[in-house]
Structure 1
Amino acid sequence: MTKSNYSLGIDIGSTTVKIAILDINNQMIFSDYERHFANIQGTLADLLTRANSALGNLTVAPVITGSGGLAISKHLNVPFVQEVVAVATSLKDYAPQTDVAIELGGEDAKIIYFTNGIEQRMNGICAGGTGSFIDQMATLLKTDAAGLNDYAKNYQAIYPIAARCGVFAKSDIQPLINEGATKPDLAASIFQAVVNQTISGLACGKPIRGNVAFLGGPLHFLSELKNAFVRTLNLTKEQTIAPEHSHLFAAVGSAMNYNSLLTTSLQTLVDHLTTGISLDFEVNRMDSLFDNEEAYEMFLHRHNTHTVKKGDLSTYQGNCYLGIDAGSTTTKVALVGEDGSLLYSFYSNNNGSPLKTTIKAIKEIYTLLPENANIVRSCST
């Protein structure tokens, strides 16, 4: 088999695929990073195609790592290395002074202690306090992770928010939104919640001391998240290690664990991914809700017989009653006549501001309300 002077590290995480190609001196000559949206095979093929276009059809010694990498390594017949080994290898080369590494991924969170041997702490089945949690919270504020980071740069106050679960966090954030908390303060509070979850949930009382390296996509791309860790751990500038390619460290480390005799070409890998293997798995599926079209039509008929009586607001005269339901993500408004008929309804995403959304609905009601119709009572829930 041909010996290669180039190694290829592939890190397949829960939400992203990263690749790094190193030369014989462990210098990175190509890297790429992309979300896979559950299409690992296609995303990896795209990344390797880009590498092939940039470097030519190199002969490489590939190694795969990451939480989603084991199955594809078997299909491609490519060596697999455990992620903590890959990270430890790259840190030993690029930042040997590291005492503790904190790594956040899409759904993984890790703390690795390097003093007196290697000890890894990792989250379990819950993705609270990871990149996907940050994405979910950003959506709640009608932005993305980068927008959340920009907001956090201008915070004034930190609010206590749970990061163990996205549902719990929403329960904390929604009342703050309703009370008018600013997006910069909410963004910074979300990052602080991630810090608290990582330290309390993984360190479990074991001190995080000395030189601390921050790794993984969220800590690489979100400067304010890293700053929240630095602030909480009271780290000096000298103790804070933020490598240039910190989001690629597992890929780099896996490349450094290569076997120079186990080689293949970039194009061969692409060919296997696009035509040679299939990662589809048959899953058990639930029975359909309706056996046939007739059953579906019967369902519609049965449910359509129970509808709210509606009235015409434009011709209504008399007293009206206003009901407002301000939910966690949506605002619902109903205007009801004295006979219980529904005169007006409103349903909309609150876009992170239920008060503004409600005011919008009420203004619309008053533009439609006839002269002899009056809102005499209102209630919110």
Structure 2
Amino acid sequence: MNTYRVGIDIGSTTVKLVVLDQESKMIYGEYRRHHAHTQETLTALLQEVKAQLGDCILQVKITGSGSINLGKALGIAFIQEVVAVASALQFYAPQTDVAIELGGEDAKIIYFTGGLEERMNGVCAGGTGSFIDQMAALLECDAQGLNEAAKHYRQIYPIAARCGVFAKSDIQPLINEGATKADLAASIFQAVVNQTISGLACGKAIKGCVAFLGGPLHFLTELKKAFIRTLHLTEETIVDPK
């Protein structure tokens, strides 16, 4: 019977499951919104793995903000998510000096050069994926619609990303004054960039090779461009894992 290594990540909005063979080649990978039904979503993913691979032995590790209790219940070893990210980057992209990761409700910066140092947002989800979803709903679209609109921006407006309520109070007058959806979308992304840099970096420079991680930075190309633009990065200093 074949043995595979499995990684499970249960975040605030999605469940991720990946299966590696003995040569560390990915033979299954899925990323799915759980809509607060984490156990059901994970069960469905594991059933898909069994349908694809047949009877097999799985060596499993679990990580993510929503996985501690589930890992205990299933008897699966828990790995703290920053440790998992740092270990993976040091293996796959050892040139990384700084990693920026945005999730559904958290944001992280990990510094590698000069000693490992991690910064993570507190209880507020300002400047994360859920903030972007909230702002997209305000503009009557989804996050991908926001991304498409931002491709055509001409002007950036100052918008607070620290809090959705403050952001709405900044955006509503702009809507009333006739600001375009493209400019508003790009301004929302720039607000996320500003919040991440000011709220997490706290004055410590983000320089060298910068890795971009997490759903918002993977799926929203214009958000990533806003970070690249603001940090003055080049093709040589961007680490963009698959």
**Shorter-chain TM-score range:** over 0.9
Of 156, 160, 163 in structure 1, the residue corresponding to residue 161 of structure 2 is: 163
Q: What is the correspondence of 1:86-165 to structure 2 with a 5 Å cutoff?
A: 86-165=84-163
What is the SS of the residue equivalent to 2:77?
coil
CA displacement at 1:24 relative to structure 2? 1.3
The equivalent of 1:195 in structure 2 is: 193
Q: What is the correspondence of 1:200-239 to structure 2 with a 5 Å cutoff?
A: 200-239=198-237
CA distance in 1, matches of 2:9, 2:17: 6
The equivalent of 2:74 in structure 1 is: 76
- Conserved 8 A contact 2:158-2:187: yes
> What amino acid is the match of 1:19?
L
What is the SS of the residue equivalent to 1:9?
strand
Q: Is 1:38 the counterpart of 2:32 in the alignment? A: no
The equivalent of 2:19 in structure 1 is: 21
> What amino acid is the match of 1:47?
L
Structure ID, larger Rg: 1
What's the CA shift string for 1:278-312, capped at 9, x where partnerless? xxxxxxxxxxxxxxxxxxxxxxxxxxxxxxxxxxx
The equivalent of 1:53 in structure 2 is: 51
TM-score (norm 2): 0.98
CA displacement at 1:71 relative to structure 2? 0.5
TM-score (norm 1): 0.63
- Conserved 8 A contact 2:102-2:215: yes
> What amino acid is the match of 2:100?
I
What is the SS of the residue equivalent to 1:102?
strand
When structure 1 is superposed on structure 2, of 140-149 and 50-59 the one drifting more is 50-59
What's the CA shift string for 1:175-201, capped at 9, x where partnerless? 000000000000000000000000000
CA distance in 1, matches of 2:208, 2:111: 10
What is the SS of the residue equivalent to 2:61?
strand
- Conserved 8 A contact 2:3-2:56: no
CA displacement at 1:58 relative to structure 2? 2.3
The equivalent of 2:5 in structure 1 is: 7
CA displacement at 1:56 relative to structure 2? 1.8
What's the CA shift string for 1:2-41, capped at 9, x where partnerless? 9x74110000001111011111121111100111111110
- Which runs of 5 or more structure 1 residues have no equivalent in the other structure? 245-381
> What amino acid is the match of 2:37?
N
The equivalent of 1:254 in structure 2 is: none
Measured on the aligned residues, the alpha-carbon RMSD in Å equals 1.0
What's the CA shift string for 1:223-271, capped at 9, x where partnerless? 0000000000000111011111xxxxxxxxxxxxxxxxxxxxxxxxxxx
Q: What is the correspondence of 1:325-364 to structure 2 with a 5 Å cutoff?
A: none
CA distance in 1, matches of 2:3, 2:53: 13
CA distance in 1, matches of 2:40, 2:74: 14
CA distance in 1, matches of 2:54, 2:175: 52
CA distance in 1, matches of 2:227, 2:25: 29
Q: What is the correspondence of 1:189-338 to structure 2 with a 5 Å cutoff?
A: 189-244=187-242
Length, aligned pairs only: 242
CA distance in 1, matches of 2:230, 2:55: 47
> What amino acid is the match of 1:29?
I
CA displacement at 1:117 relative to structure 2? 1.9
The equivalent of 1:62 in structure 2 is: 60
CA displacement at 1:75 relative to structure 2? 0.5
